[in-house]
Amino acid sequence: MKSSNTALTAFIFTLLFLSLPAQSESATPQQQLAGLVREPLRLQVTLSNGQQAILDAFVTRPAGKTALPVALITQGSSGNAKFDRDVMNPNYLSSTALAFAQHGYAAVAVMREGYGDSSGAAEYSGGSCAQPHHALAGKRDTMDVLAALAAVRKQPWASADTAILAGMSAGGFAVLAAGAVNPPGVKAVINFAGGRGAIDGKRLCDEAGLLAAFSAFGNAAKVPSLWLYAANDNDFSPAMAQAFYTAYTAHHAPARFSALPAFGKNGHVVMDTAPSAFWWPPVGAFLKENGLPYREQIALPDSPLTAPVELNNAGGKKAFAAYQGARRYEKAFAIGEDGSWGAAYWARTADAAAAKALSNCNHHQAGQTGCRIYALGDEPVSSGG
């Protein structure tokens, strides 16, 4: 999800939002995994400027009420304001959150203001490519991230004094901004493909201003950070990534750059799309060096699913194999009698995943019987279900 500077109409903070509780249950059960708890959150927060806000969030954590170190994870921007508001949800970070939870963290995916069901306007609201307001965006991001962390720390399962911040793309920029104020108890920052103002992978909106923002963060930062960029990032080229890092470390900020190999067609989406085995080795080593949990504590079994017999082409079989290995919840797979198929990932609820998978399958259905849900999450669905 690339960073965006498209103007976003300010979202009205209604009384209905203000009346939401700090935590709410989804009407549809979420995919649950042995040893873990996955549940939605609504964080009612007070920002550092005194404003009230609601932040859309989701926690994945080891079962039990033990106070766990917090991994606060935040998202990038799609470049499409409608998508950011209407489609984006915390489950876009589900695979990342799951990886941290398996290693002993209460992993909380948080949508900053203007994304998903969070209130307010996105950090790029009011900006343009000519004037992207990078420094101002960093200040707005910092308010959101630190307010979310303060709210999470009130939960019985969250440590009050040990946390890490992680984010991708515009979210990577956000956690670097927040880490630069050296929040108490924040032990590390992990930046996945962080930046703002990508145009075409070759140019940046106000490059000088962006580098100045990175330099200012690094000048203040005392919290160690890890920077991860893939070789085939289509938004921030290796040269751009090195320029960001050089600006940040010009004042000797504690940071490490880790160049990841190419991933898929666009390595920019490593954090939310790649299997965690692709990126965990440098992350685990970094956490270990900083005295933080890094060993896997909860192993998850392989998917029990077998390929549906109706799949009769290489494309469908490849898609199902990808579905079996994906930890991108909520997810569903639909199948038609003629071999048509449809998959859905990152839905807010299981029902939403099923509806999307059916829609995708029926779009390609050549027969008259329509499609059915074959798998919901990692579980098979009976033919009558």
What does the buried/exposed string (b/e) look like for 259-289 if buried means 16 or more CB atoms within 10 Å of the residue's CB?
A: ebeebeebbbbbbbbbebebbbebbbebbee
> How many Å from the N-terminal Cα to the C-terminal Cα in the chain?
34
Q: Residues 110, 305: contact at Cβ < 8 Å?
A: no
Residue located via tokens 């329509």: 370
Note the pLDDT of residue 366. 59
Range from 95-99, 180-184, 283-287, 336-340 carrying the lowest mean pLDDT: 336-340
What average pLDDT does the segment 229-240 reach? 97
What average pLDDT does the segment 304-325 reach? 93
Helices 170-179 and 134-152, packing angle to 10 deg: 70
Confidence band for 227, pLDDT divided at 50, 70 and 90? very high
Note the pLDDT of residue 132. 93
Q: Is the pLDDT of residue 271 over 90?
A: yes
Residue located via tokens 């209905």: 16
- What are 113's two structure tokens? 């203001």
**215 HSE (CA, 13 A, CB side):** 9
Q: Is the pLDDT of residue 130 over 70?
A: yes
Residue 227's H or E segment, with its range, is strand 225-230
- What are 7's two structure tokens? 């103007």
CA distance 54 to 45: 6
Give 150-168 pLDDT, tens digit per residue: 999 999 999 999 999 999 9
Confidence band for 182, pLDDT divided at 50, 70 and 90? very high
What average pLDDT does the segment 282-295 reach? 98
Question: CA torsion 74→77→81→83, rounded to 10°?
Answer: -80
pTM of the model: 0.90
- What are 319's two structure tokens? 């898609």
Give 30-61 pLDDT, tens digit per residue: 889 999 999 999 999 999 999 999 999 999 99
Q: Is the pLDDT of residue 66 over 70?
A: yes
What average pLDDT does the segment 271-276 reach? 96
Share of the chain above pLDDT 70, in %: 90
Looking only at Cα atoms, what is the longest distance across the chain?
66
Q: Residues 107, 98: contact at Cβ < 8 Å?
A: yes
Q: Residues 217, 227: contact at Cβ < 8 Å?
A: no
Share of the chain above pLDDT 90, in %: 82
| Residue scoring higher pLDDT (298 or 367) | 298
Sheet-wide strand order for 371-376 = 341-344, 332-336, 371-376, 379-380
Cβ–Cβ contacts within 10 Å for residue 86, how many?
11
Note the pLDDT of residue 8. 32
What average pLDDT does the segment 162-188 reach? 98
Note the pLDDT of residue 273. 95
Q: Is the pLDDT of residue 80 over 70?
A: yes
In angstroms, what CA-CA distances link 118 with 42, 175, 208, 246?
A: 8, 18, 31, 33
Sign of CA dihedral 82, 31, 277, 290: positive
Q: Is the pLDDT of residue 268 over 60?
A: yes
What average pLDDT does the segment 17-31 reach? 45
- What are 161's two structure tokens? 């004094």
Sign of CA dihedral 27, 28, 34, 38: negative
Note the pLDDT of residue 367. 54
Note the pLDDT of residue 302. 86
Note the pLDDT of residue 341. 94
Q: Is the pLDDT of residue 85 over 90?
A: yes
Note the pLDDT of residue 368. 55
